Amino acid sequence: MAAPRDHPGALEKQGREGRRGGSGVEVVFPPDPAAPAPLCPHGPTLLFVKVIQGKEETRRFYACSACRDRKDCNFFQWEDEKLSPARLAAREAHHRRFLPPLSRTQCVDRYLKFIALPLTERKFCQSCQQLLLLEEWDKHREHQVLGDISVSQLRRPSRLLYPLENKKTNAQYLFAERSCQFLVDLLSALGFQRVLCVGTPRLHELIRLTASGDNKSNMKSLLLDIDFRYSQFYMEDSFCHYNMFNHHFFDGKAALDVCRAFLQDGNGEGVIMVTDPPFGGLVEPLAVTFKKLIAMWKEGQSQDDGYKELPIFWIFPYFFESRICQFFPSFSMLDYQVDYDNHALYKHGKTGRKQSPVRIFTNIPPSKIILPTEEGYRFCPLCQRYVSVENQHCEHCNSCPSKDGRKWNHCFLCNKCVKPSWIHCSTCSHCAVPDHSCEGPKDGCFICGELDHKRSNCPNISASKRANKAVRKQKQRKSNKMKMETTKGQTMNHTSATRKKKRRERTHQYLCS
Protein backbone atom coordinates (compact mmCIF):
# COMPACT_ATOMS: atom_id res chain seq x y z
CA MET A 1 0.00 0.00 0.00
CA ALA A 2 2.70 2.43 0.96
CA ALA A 3 4.02 4.29 -2.04
CA PRO A 4 6.17 7.33 -2.59
CA ARG A 5 3.35 9.85 -2.39
CA ASP A 6 2.24 8.30 0.90
CA HIS A 7 5.67 8.44 2.33
CA PRO A 8 6.92 11.97 2.74
CA GLY A 9 10.33 10.71 3.92
CA ALA A 10 11.11 8.82 0.74
CA LEU A 11 9.68 11.55 -1.46
CA GLU A 12 11.68 14.10 0.42
CA LYS A 13 14.85 12.22 -0.38
CA GLN A 14 13.80 12.01 -4.01
CA GLY A 15 13.17 15.74 -3.92
CA ARG A 16 16.68 16.35 -2.70
CA GLU A 17 18.40 13.95 -5.05
CA GLY A 18 16.33 14.17 -8.19
CA ARG A 19 16.04 10.41 -8.52
CA ARG A 20 13.11 8.23 -9.18
CA GLY A 21 12.23 6.90 -5.73
CA GLY A 22 15.00 4.92 -4.11
CA SER A 23 15.59 2.91 -7.24
CA GLY A 24 18.65 4.91 -8.25
CA VAL A 25 17.28 5.32 -11.76
CA GLU A 26 17.90 8.66 -13.40
CA VAL A 27 16.63 10.06 -16.64
CA VAL A 28 19.22 11.13 -19.22
CA PHE A 29 18.76 14.55 -20.85
CA PRO A 30 19.06 15.60 -23.52
CA PRO A 31 18.95 12.31 -25.34
CA ASP A 32 20.98 12.19 -28.52
CA PRO A 33 18.85 14.09 -31.05
CA ALA A 34 20.20 11.81 -33.78
CA ALA A 35 18.69 8.81 -32.00
CA PRO A 36 14.98 9.42 -31.50
CA ALA A 37 13.53 7.51 -28.58
CA PRO A 38 11.41 4.45 -29.38
CA LEU A 39 7.67 4.81 -28.83
CA CYS A 40 5.48 3.11 -26.26
CA PRO A 41 1.70 3.52 -26.15
CA HIS A 42 2.33 6.71 -24.14
CA GLY A 43 4.48 8.41 -26.76
CA PRO A 44 8.28 8.72 -26.89
CA THR A 45 9.98 6.80 -24.10
CA LEU A 46 12.66 8.29 -21.87
CA LEU A 47 16.27 7.21 -21.64
CA PHE A 48 17.25 6.04 -18.15
CA VAL A 49 20.46 5.09 -16.47
CA LYS A 50 20.90 3.13 -13.29
CA VAL A 51 23.06 4.78 -10.71
CA ILE A 52 24.74 2.55 -8.18
CA GLN A 53 26.58 4.15 -5.32
CA GLY A 54 26.92 7.39 -7.22
CA LYS A 55 28.27 5.67 -10.37
CA GLU A 56 26.34 5.47 -13.59
CA GLU A 57 26.05 2.04 -15.15
CA THR A 58 27.21 2.17 -18.72
CA ARG A 59 24.26 0.45 -20.36
CA ARG A 60 21.29 2.79 -20.59
CA PHE A 61 17.72 1.81 -21.38
CA TYR A 62 14.46 3.23 -22.66
CA ALA A 63 11.30 2.91 -20.55
CA CYS A 64 7.84 4.46 -20.42
CA SER A 65 7.80 8.13 -19.45
CA ALA A 66 4.40 8.00 -17.80
CA CYS A 67 4.13 4.66 -16.02
CA ARG A 68 6.41 3.83 -13.18
CA ASP A 69 4.83 0.41 -12.84
CA ARG A 70 5.52 -2.36 -15.31
CA LYS A 71 1.94 -3.50 -14.89
CA ASP A 72 0.79 -0.28 -16.58
CA CYS A 73 3.37 -0.24 -19.35
CA ASN A 74 6.15 -2.76 -19.59
CA PHE A 75 8.18 -1.16 -22.34
CA PHE A 76 11.88 -1.90 -21.99
CA GLN A 77 14.65 -1.57 -24.52
CA TRP A 78 18.39 -1.24 -24.12
CA GLU A 79 19.73 1.90 -25.72
CA ASP A 80 21.99 -0.11 -28.05
CA GLU A 81 19.48 -2.88 -28.73
CA LYS A 82 18.49 -3.49 -32.35
CA LEU A 83 15.08 -5.03 -32.90
CA SER A 84 14.25 -7.23 -35.84
CA PRO A 85 11.37 -6.05 -38.07
CA ALA A 86 9.33 -8.99 -36.81
CA ARG A 87 9.77 -7.98 -33.18
CA LEU A 88 9.02 -4.35 -34.00
CA ALA A 89 5.78 -5.37 -35.68
CA ALA A 90 4.82 -7.56 -32.75
CA ARG A 91 5.50 -4.71 -30.40
CA GLU A 92 3.36 -2.34 -32.39
CA ALA A 93 0.48 -4.79 -32.40
CA HIS A 94 0.86 -5.11 -28.64
CA HIS A 95 0.79 -1.32 -28.22
CA ARG A 96 -2.41 -0.95 -30.17
CA ARG A 97 -4.21 -2.85 -27.43
CA PHE A 98 -3.40 -0.01 -25.05
CA LEU A 99 -4.90 2.69 -27.20
CA PRO A 100 -8.22 4.25 -26.18
CA PRO A 101 -11.15 2.45 -27.85
CA LEU A 102 -12.58 5.67 -29.25
CA SER A 103 -11.09 8.58 -31.14
CA ARG A 104 -11.47 12.05 -29.73
CA THR A 105 -14.05 12.94 -32.40
CA GLN A 106 -16.06 9.82 -31.62
CA CYS A 107 -16.08 10.83 -27.95
CA VAL A 108 -17.44 14.24 -28.78
CA ASP A 109 -20.17 12.70 -30.97
CA ARG A 110 -21.18 10.43 -28.11
CA TYR A 111 -21.24 13.32 -25.69
CA LEU A 112 -23.54 15.33 -27.94
CA LYS A 113 -25.87 12.35 -28.30
CA PHE A 114 -25.83 11.80 -24.56
CA ILE A 115 -26.78 15.33 -23.54
CA ALA A 116 -29.65 15.25 -26.04
CA LEU A 117 -31.21 12.37 -24.07
CA PRO A 118 -33.97 13.07 -21.53
CA LEU A 119 -32.82 12.84 -17.90
CA THR A 120 -34.38 9.40 -17.33
CA GLU A 121 -32.37 7.93 -20.19
CA ARG A 122 -29.02 9.26 -19.10
CA LYS A 123 -27.05 6.46 -17.48
CA PHE A 124 -23.48 6.14 -16.32
CA CYS A 125 -21.79 2.77 -15.86
CA GLN A 126 -19.66 2.91 -12.74
CA SER A 127 -18.01 -0.40 -13.50
CA CYS A 128 -16.83 0.79 -16.91
CA GLN A 129 -16.57 4.49 -15.95
CA GLN A 130 -18.53 5.37 -19.05
CA LEU A 131 -21.61 7.30 -20.09
CA LEU A 132 -24.04 4.93 -21.82
CA LEU A 133 -26.06 5.43 -24.96
CA LEU A 134 -29.39 3.57 -25.33
CA GLU A 135 -28.02 0.84 -27.53
CA GLU A 136 -25.35 0.05 -24.93
CA TRP A 137 -27.59 -0.50 -21.93
CA ASP A 138 -27.89 -4.19 -22.59
CA LYS A 139 -24.17 -4.81 -22.45
CA HIS A 140 -23.95 -3.19 -19.02
CA ARG A 141 -27.01 -4.84 -17.51
CA GLU A 142 -24.98 -6.70 -14.91
CA HIS A 143 -22.87 -3.65 -14.03
CA GLN A 144 -23.21 -0.91 -11.43
CA VAL A 145 -25.21 1.64 -13.36
CA LEU A 146 -26.17 5.10 -12.15
CA GLY A 147 -29.32 6.64 -13.61
CA ASP A 148 -30.74 10.15 -14.04
CA ILE A 149 -27.42 11.81 -14.73
CA SER A 150 -28.14 15.51 -14.36
CA VAL A 151 -26.46 18.39 -16.12
CA SER A 152 -24.78 19.41 -12.88
CA GLN A 153 -23.37 15.87 -12.51
CA LEU A 154 -22.06 16.08 -16.06
CA ARG A 155 -20.37 19.31 -15.16
CA ARG A 156 -18.53 17.68 -12.26
CA PRO A 157 -16.94 14.59 -13.82
CA SER A 158 -14.32 14.45 -11.06
CA ARG A 159 -17.14 13.49 -8.70
CA LEU A 160 -18.73 10.99 -11.05
CA LEU A 161 -15.50 9.19 -11.90
CA TYR A 162 -13.57 7.52 -9.14
CA PRO A 163 -10.05 8.89 -8.69
CA LEU A 164 -7.37 6.68 -10.27
CA GLU A 165 -5.15 6.33 -7.26
CA ASN A 166 -2.69 3.86 -8.75
CA LYS A 167 0.30 5.61 -7.32
CA LYS A 168 2.77 4.89 -10.03
CA THR A 169 0.85 6.24 -13.00
CA ASN A 170 -2.07 8.53 -12.40
CA ALA A 171 -1.71 9.28 -8.70
CA GLN A 172 -4.95 11.18 -8.96
CA TYR A 173 -5.42 13.27 -5.88
CA LEU A 174 -8.24 15.73 -6.14
CA PHE A 175 -8.22 19.17 -4.54
CA ALA A 176 -10.36 19.65 -1.50
CA GLU A 177 -13.19 22.09 -2.15
CA ARG A 178 -11.50 24.77 -0.06
CA SER A 179 -8.21 24.65 -1.96
CA CYS A 180 -9.90 24.44 -5.33
CA GLN A 181 -12.09 27.47 -4.57
CA PHE A 182 -9.04 29.33 -3.29
CA LEU A 183 -7.27 28.69 -6.60
CA VAL A 184 -10.21 29.81 -8.71
CA ASP A 185 -10.66 32.98 -6.65
CA LEU A 186 -6.95 33.69 -6.83
CA LEU A 187 -6.78 33.21 -10.61
CA SER A 188 -9.73 35.50 -11.04
CA ALA A 189 -8.33 38.14 -8.63
CA LEU A 190 -5.09 38.10 -10.62
CA GLY A 191 -7.12 38.86 -13.73
CA PHE A 192 -6.49 35.71 -15.77
CA GLN A 193 -8.91 34.91 -18.56
CA ARG A 194 -7.52 31.57 -19.65
CA VAL A 195 -6.13 28.69 -17.60
CA LEU A 196 -4.17 25.82 -19.11
CA CYS A 197 -4.88 23.02 -16.63
CA VAL A 198 -2.16 20.38 -16.89
CA GLY A 199 -3.26 17.42 -14.76
CA THR A 200 -5.83 19.42 -12.79
CA PRO A 201 -9.26 18.04 -13.78
CA ARG A 202 -11.05 19.30 -10.69
CA LEU A 203 -9.71 22.83 -11.07
CA HIS A 204 -10.73 22.72 -14.74
CA GLU A 205 -14.30 21.85 -13.91
CA LEU A 206 -14.59 24.43 -11.13
CA ILE A 207 -13.35 27.18 -13.46
CA ARG A 208 -15.98 26.19 -16.01
CA LEU A 209 -18.70 25.97 -13.39
CA THR A 210 -17.80 29.41 -12.09
CA ALA A 211 -17.81 30.84 -15.59
CA SER A 212 -21.18 29.33 -16.42
CA GLY A 213 -22.68 30.74 -13.22
CA ASP A 214 -24.28 34.15 -13.37
CA ASN A 215 -21.26 36.10 -12.13
CA LYS A 216 -18.85 38.16 -14.14
CA SER A 217 -16.19 35.49 -14.58
CA ASN A 218 -15.65 34.45 -18.15
CA MET A 219 -12.51 32.45 -17.51
CA LYS A 220 -11.81 29.70 -20.02
CA SER A 221 -10.00 26.49 -19.26
CA LEU A 222 -8.30 23.78 -21.30
CA LEU A 223 -7.51 20.48 -19.58
CA LEU A 224 -4.50 18.40 -20.61
CA ASP A 225 -4.53 15.03 -18.85
CA ILE A 226 -3.56 11.42 -19.41
CA ASP A 227 -6.83 10.22 -17.90
CA PHE A 228 -8.82 9.43 -20.99
CA ARG A 229 -12.10 9.01 -19.08
CA TYR A 230 -12.40 12.80 -19.00
CA SER A 231 -12.69 12.96 -22.78
CA GLN A 232 -16.33 11.81 -22.45
CA PHE A 233 -17.33 15.07 -20.82
CA TYR A 234 -15.63 17.71 -22.91
CA MET A 235 -15.57 19.03 -26.45
CA GLU A 236 -12.30 19.09 -28.43
CA ASP A 237 -11.52 22.65 -27.35
CA SER A 238 -11.55 21.92 -23.62
CA PHE A 239 -9.79 18.57 -23.23
CA CYS A 240 -6.69 17.04 -24.79
CA HIS A 241 -5.44 13.56 -24.00
CA TYR A 242 -1.87 14.38 -23.08
CA ASN A 243 1.25 12.99 -21.44
CA MET A 244 3.07 15.63 -19.44
CA PHE A 245 6.26 13.60 -19.05
CA ASN A 246 7.06 13.77 -22.76
CA HIS A 247 4.75 16.51 -24.09
CA HIS A 248 2.88 13.95 -26.15
CA PHE A 249 -0.58 14.66 -27.56
CA PHE A 250 -2.30 11.33 -28.11
CA ASP A 251 -4.48 12.81 -30.86
CA GLY A 252 -1.63 14.31 -32.81
CA LYS A 253 -1.55 17.64 -34.57
CA ALA A 254 -5.23 18.50 -34.15
CA ALA A 255 -4.84 18.44 -30.37
CA LEU A 256 -1.50 20.24 -30.46
CA ASP A 257 -3.18 23.01 -32.48
CA VAL A 258 -5.94 23.32 -29.86
CA CYS A 259 -3.31 23.81 -27.17
CA ARG A 260 -1.29 26.26 -29.23
CA ALA A 261 -4.34 28.36 -30.11
CA PHE A 262 -5.32 28.45 -26.45
CA LEU A 263 -1.89 29.67 -25.35
CA GLN A 264 -1.46 32.17 -28.16
CA ASP A 265 -4.94 33.66 -28.16
CA GLY A 266 -4.83 37.47 -27.79
CA ASN A 267 -1.04 37.54 -28.25
CA GLY A 268 -0.72 35.27 -25.27
CA GLU A 269 -2.15 37.84 -22.86
CA GLY A 270 -4.17 36.76 -19.82
CA VAL A 271 -3.19 33.09 -19.83
CA ILE A 272 -1.66 31.04 -16.98
CA MET A 273 -0.62 27.40 -16.73
CA VAL A 274 -1.57 25.49 -13.58
CA THR A 275 -0.17 22.02 -13.04
CA ASP A 276 -0.34 19.41 -10.27
CA PRO A 277 1.74 16.48 -11.51
CA PRO A 278 2.03 13.10 -9.78
CA PHE A 279 4.53 13.67 -6.98
CA GLY A 280 6.41 10.47 -7.70
CA GLY A 281 7.32 11.77 -11.15
CA LEU A 282 10.73 13.15 -11.90
CA VAL A 283 11.14 16.91 -11.93
CA GLU A 284 13.42 17.08 -14.96
CA PRO A 285 11.13 15.60 -17.62
CA LEU A 286 8.33 17.79 -16.27
CA ALA A 287 10.55 20.87 -16.49
CA VAL A 288 11.48 19.96 -20.08
CA THR A 289 7.78 19.66 -20.95
CA PHE A 290 6.82 22.92 -19.28
CA LYS A 291 9.60 24.68 -21.17
CA LYS A 292 8.07 23.36 -24.39
CA LEU A 293 4.68 24.76 -23.40
CA ILE A 294 6.36 28.07 -22.53
CA ALA A 295 8.05 28.10 -25.95
CA MET A 296 4.70 27.44 -27.62
CA TRP A 297 3.23 30.44 -25.78
CA LYS A 298 6.27 32.57 -26.68
CA GLU A 299 5.86 31.91 -30.41
CA GLY A 300 2.69 33.97 -30.24
CA GLN A 301 4.41 36.97 -28.66
CA SER A 302 5.53 40.06 -30.50
CA GLN A 303 9.28 40.79 -30.43
CA ASP A 304 9.25 43.51 -27.77
CA ASP A 305 7.59 41.19 -25.26
CA GLY A 306 10.68 39.01 -25.25
CA TYR A 307 11.38 39.43 -21.53
CA LYS A 308 7.91 38.28 -20.44
CA GLU A 309 7.31 34.92 -18.83
CA LEU A 310 4.30 32.66 -19.07
CA PRO A 311 2.72 32.80 -15.59
CA ILE A 312 2.78 29.37 -13.97
CA PHE A 313 1.48 27.68 -10.83
CA TRP A 314 3.29 24.39 -10.27
CA ILE A 315 1.77 22.53 -7.34
CA PHE A 316 4.24 20.16 -5.67
CA PRO A 317 5.61 19.22 -2.21
CA TYR A 318 7.84 21.78 -0.54
CA PHE A 319 10.87 19.50 -0.40
CA PHE A 320 11.18 19.76 -4.18
CA GLU A 321 11.87 23.48 -3.83
CA SER A 322 15.54 23.40 -4.77
CA ARG A 323 14.92 20.99 -7.69
CA ILE A 324 12.17 23.15 -9.14
CA CYS A 325 14.10 26.39 -8.66
CA GLN A 326 17.09 24.81 -10.33
CA PHE A 327 15.04 24.56 -13.53
CA PHE A 328 12.99 27.72 -12.98
CA PRO A 329 15.12 30.24 -11.07
CA SER A 330 12.38 32.87 -11.20
CA PHE A 331 9.99 30.68 -9.19
CA SER A 332 9.28 31.14 -5.54
CA MET A 333 7.37 28.92 -3.18
CA LEU A 334 4.22 30.18 -1.51
CA ASP A 335 3.33 29.24 2.06
CA TYR A 336 -0.20 28.20 1.10
CA GLN A 337 -0.89 24.54 1.93
CA VAL A 338 -2.82 22.75 -0.80
CA ASP A 339 -5.30 20.21 0.54
CA TYR A 340 -6.67 17.08 -1.07
CA ASP A 341 -9.91 15.15 -0.74
CA ASN A 342 -8.76 11.60 -1.16
CA HIS A 343 -5.41 11.74 0.54
CA ALA A 344 -5.32 10.89 4.22
CA LEU A 345 -1.79 12.12 4.78
CA TYR A 346 -1.85 15.27 2.73
CA LYS A 347 -4.89 17.01 3.98
CA HIS A 348 -5.47 19.31 6.90
CA GLY A 349 -6.74 17.24 9.79
CA LYS A 350 -9.59 18.68 11.79
CA THR A 351 -7.14 19.23 14.63
CA GLY A 352 -4.89 21.15 12.28
CA ARG A 353 -2.10 18.80 13.29
CA LYS A 354 -1.73 17.13 9.95
CA GLN A 355 -0.25 19.68 7.64
CA SER A 356 -0.16 19.29 3.92
CA PRO A 357 3.39 19.51 2.52
CA VAL A 358 2.07 20.58 -0.88
CA ARG A 359 2.79 24.13 -2.02
CA ILE A 360 2.42 26.40 -5.04
CA PHE A 361 5.56 27.31 -6.97
CA THR A 362 5.15 30.37 -9.13
CA ASN A 363 6.85 33.11 -11.13
CA ILE A 364 4.16 35.62 -10.12
CA PRO A 365 5.57 38.01 -7.48
CA PRO A 366 4.50 36.60 -4.07
CA SER A 367 3.54 40.11 -2.93
CA LYS A 368 0.61 39.92 -5.37
CA ILE A 369 -0.75 36.72 -3.90
CA ILE A 370 -3.07 37.23 -0.96
CA LEU A 371 -3.47 34.19 1.28
CA PRO A 372 -6.63 33.88 3.40
CA THR A 373 -6.17 35.18 6.95
CA GLU A 374 -9.11 33.07 8.14
CA GLU A 375 -7.06 29.99 7.22
CA GLY A 376 -4.08 31.11 9.26
CA TYR A 377 -1.95 33.25 6.96
CA ARG A 378 -0.59 36.75 7.62
CA PHE A 379 1.31 39.33 5.60
CA CYS A 380 4.98 39.78 6.49
CA PRO A 381 5.87 43.40 5.60
CA LEU A 382 9.60 42.62 5.73
CA CYS A 383 9.39 39.69 3.30
CA GLN A 384 6.57 41.34 1.33
CA ARG A 385 4.63 38.12 1.14
CA TYR A 386 1.92 36.16 2.91
CA VAL A 387 3.15 33.42 5.24
CA SER A 388 1.74 30.93 7.75
CA VAL A 389 0.99 32.54 11.10
CA GLU A 390 3.51 30.18 12.74
CA ASN A 391 6.21 31.08 10.27
CA GLN A 392 7.86 33.83 12.26
CA HIS A 393 10.25 36.29 10.74
CA CYS A 394 13.86 35.61 11.75
CA GLU A 395 16.00 38.72 11.99
CA HIS A 396 19.19 36.70 11.50
CA CYS A 397 18.01 34.96 8.35
CA ASN A 398 16.13 38.09 7.33
CA SER A 399 13.22 35.97 6.16
CA CYS A 400 10.26 33.92 7.31
CA PRO A 401 12.20 30.68 6.97
CA SER A 402 9.74 27.89 7.74
CA LYS A 403 8.92 25.54 4.87
CA ASP A 404 6.53 23.21 6.66
CA GLY A 405 4.26 25.75 8.34
CA ARG A 406 5.67 25.21 11.85
CA LYS A 407 7.81 27.69 13.74
CA TRP A 408 11.48 27.03 13.03
CA ASN A 409 14.38 27.92 15.35
CA HIS A 410 17.54 29.74 14.44
CA CYS A 411 20.76 27.79 14.93
CA PHE A 412 23.77 30.09 15.26
CA LEU A 413 26.22 27.29 14.45
CA CYS A 414 24.47 26.36 11.19
CA ASN A 415 23.73 30.01 10.65
CA LYS A 416 20.18 29.31 9.57
CA CYS A 417 16.78 28.34 10.90
CA VAL A 418 15.98 24.64 11.25
CA LYS A 419 12.95 22.44 11.97
CA PRO A 420 11.82 22.67 15.61
CA SER A 421 12.58 18.99 16.28
CA TRP A 422 16.20 19.25 15.14
CA ILE A 423 19.23 19.73 17.38
CA HIS A 424 22.75 20.68 16.47
CA CYS A 425 25.07 17.67 16.27
CA SER A 426 28.73 18.37 16.86
CA THR A 427 29.82 15.14 15.15
CA CYS A 428 28.03 15.98 11.91
CA SER A 429 28.50 19.73 12.45
CA HIS A 430 24.97 20.49 11.37
CA CYS A 431 21.49 20.19 12.77
CA ALA A 432 19.60 16.93 12.46
CA VAL A 433 16.92 14.82 14.12
CA PRO A 434 18.04 13.89 17.67
CA ASP A 435 18.16 10.11 17.08
CA HIS A 436 20.09 10.17 13.81
CA SER A 437 23.09 7.97 13.23
CA CYS A 438 26.14 10.13 12.69
CA GLU A 439 27.70 7.67 10.29
CA GLY A 440 24.92 7.98 7.77
CA PRO A 441 21.90 5.93 6.96
CA LYS A 442 23.22 2.50 7.92
CA ASP A 443 20.83 2.14 10.83
CA GLY A 444 17.85 3.00 8.69
CA CYS A 445 16.54 1.73 5.43
CA PHE A 446 19.09 0.35 2.97
CA ILE A 447 17.06 1.49 0.01
CA CYS A 448 16.09 5.05 0.73
CA GLY A 449 18.14 5.90 3.79
CA GLU A 450 15.18 6.91 5.92
CA LEU A 451 15.52 6.13 9.59
CA ASP A 452 11.93 5.24 10.36
CA HIS A 453 11.80 1.85 8.66
CA LYS A 454 13.87 -1.07 7.39
CA ARG A 455 14.37 -2.26 3.83
CA SER A 456 11.55 -4.81 4.03
CA ASN A 457 9.01 -2.06 4.75
CA CYS A 458 10.41 0.45 2.31
CA PRO A 459 7.77 2.14 0.16
CA ASN A 460 10.35 2.29 -2.60
CA ILE A 461 11.05 -1.39 -2.73
CA SER A 462 8.79 -1.99 -5.69
CA ALA A 463 10.48 0.78 -7.66
CA SER A 464 13.89 -0.79 -7.08
CA LYS A 465 12.55 -4.22 -7.80
CA ARG A 466 11.08 -3.01 -11.04
CA ALA A 467 14.33 -1.55 -12.28
CA ASN A 468 16.16 -4.62 -11.12
CA LYS A 469 13.73 -7.07 -12.55
CA ALA A 470 13.87 -5.40 -15.94
CA VAL A 471 17.63 -5.49 -15.96
CA ARG A 472 17.73 -9.00 -14.51
CA LYS A 473 15.28 -10.30 -17.06
CA GLN A 474 17.51 -9.08 -19.88
CA LYS A 475 20.56 -10.57 -18.23
CA GLN A 476 18.66 -13.79 -17.65
CA ARG A 477 17.66 -13.98 -21.29
CA LYS A 478 21.29 -13.55 -22.24
CA SER A 479 22.58 -16.04 -19.74
CA ASN A 480 19.92 -18.56 -20.71
CA LYS A 481 21.08 -18.24 -24.25
CA MET A 482 24.65 -18.63 -23.12
CA LYS A 483 23.75 -21.66 -21.05
CA MET A 484 22.02 -23.27 -23.99
CA GLU A 485 25.09 -22.73 -26.08
CA THR A 486 27.73 -23.77 -23.58
CA THR A 487 26.29 -26.10 -20.96
CA LYS A 488 23.75 -27.91 -23.08
CA GLY A 489 22.82 -31.18 -21.42
CA GLN A 490 25.15 -30.73 -18.48
CA THR A 491 24.16 -30.09 -14.93
CA MET A 492 25.11 -26.69 -13.71
CA ASN A 493 28.84 -26.65 -13.18
CA HIS A 494 30.70 -25.00 -10.40
CA THR A 495 31.58 -21.81 -12.27
CA SER A 496 28.04 -21.04 -13.32
CA ALA A 497 26.84 -21.70 -9.79
CA THR A 498 29.39 -19.17 -8.57
CA ARG A 499 28.28 -16.79 -11.25
CA LYS A 500 24.71 -17.14 -10.14
CA LYS A 501 25.73 -16.56 -6.54
CA LYS A 502 27.75 -13.52 -7.55
CA ARG A 503 24.75 -12.18 -9.43
CA ARG A 504 22.58 -12.65 -6.38
CA GLU A 505 25.13 -10.81 -4.30
CA ARG A 506 25.30 -7.97 -6.77
CA THR A 507 21.53 -7.65 -6.78
CA HIS A 508 21.51 -7.68 -3.02
CA GLN A 509 24.20 -5.07 -2.92
CA TYR A 510 22.22 -2.93 -5.31
CA LEU A 511 19.03 -3.23 -3.31
CA CYS A 512 20.84 -2.40 -0.11
CA SER A 513 22.94 0.49 -1.30
Residues that bind Zn ion (CB under 5 A): 40, 42, 64, 73, 394, 396-397, 410, 417, 425, 427-428, 432, 438, 445, 447-448, 450, 458
Shortest Å, Cβ 294 to ligand SAH:
17
Using only the alpha carbons of the chain, give its radius of gyration. Answer: 25
- The CA-to-CA distance between both ends of the chain, in Å, stands at 23
CB neighbourhood size of 170 (10 A): 18
CB 6 within 8 A of CB 279: no
Using Cβ positions, the residue closest to ligand SAH within the complex turns out to be 199
Judged by CB under 6 A, the stretch of 10-18, 172-180, 296-304, 344-352 that binds ligand SAH is 172-180
- Selection from Zn ion, ligand SAH, none that 205 binds (CB < 5 to 8 A by kind) is none
- 131 touches ligand SAH (CB under 6 A): no
244 binds, among Zn ion, ligand SAH, none (CB under 5 to 8 A by kind): ligand SAH
Considering only residues 227, 251, 284, 321, which one is a binding residue for ligand SAH as defined by CB under 6 A?
Answer: 227
Helix axes 461-486, 494-512, angle to 10 degrees: 170
CB of 254 to ligand SAH, least distance (A): 18
As measured in angstroms, the least distance from the Cβ of 251 to ligand SAH is 14
Closest CA to 74 of 470, 393, 436: 470
| Residue 225 binding: pick among Zn ion, ligand SAH, none (C-beta 5-8 Å cut-off by kind) | ligand SAH
Query: What is 105-130 written as a DSSP string?
Result: HHHHHHHHHHHHS-GGG-EEETTTTE
Task: Kindly state whether residue 157 participates in binding ligand SAH, applying the rule CB under 6 A.
Answer: no
Q: State whether residue 104 is helix, strand or coil.
A: helix
- Sole binder of ligand SAH in the list 26, 251, 276, 339 (CB under 6 A): 276
410 binds, among ligand SAH, Zn ion, none (CB under 5 to 8 A by kind): Zn ion
- In whole angstroms, give the CA distance from residue 352 to residue 375: 10
User: CB of 337 within 8 A of CB of 358?
Assistant: yes
Cβ-based nearer residue to Zn ion, 11 or 154: 11
Q: Does 239 bind ligand SAH (CB under 6 A)?
A: no
- Compute CA distances 503 → 300, 463, 506, whole Å: 55, 19, 5
Biggest distance spanned by C-alpha atoms of the chain: 82
Please enumerate in sequence order all residues whose Cβ is within 8 A of that of 253, keeping only pairs 6 or more positions apart, or say none. none
Nearest-approach distance from CB 180 to Zn ion, in angstroms: 29
Positions in the binding site for ligand SAH (CB under 6 A) = 66, 170-175, 199-203, 225-227, 242-245, 276, 278
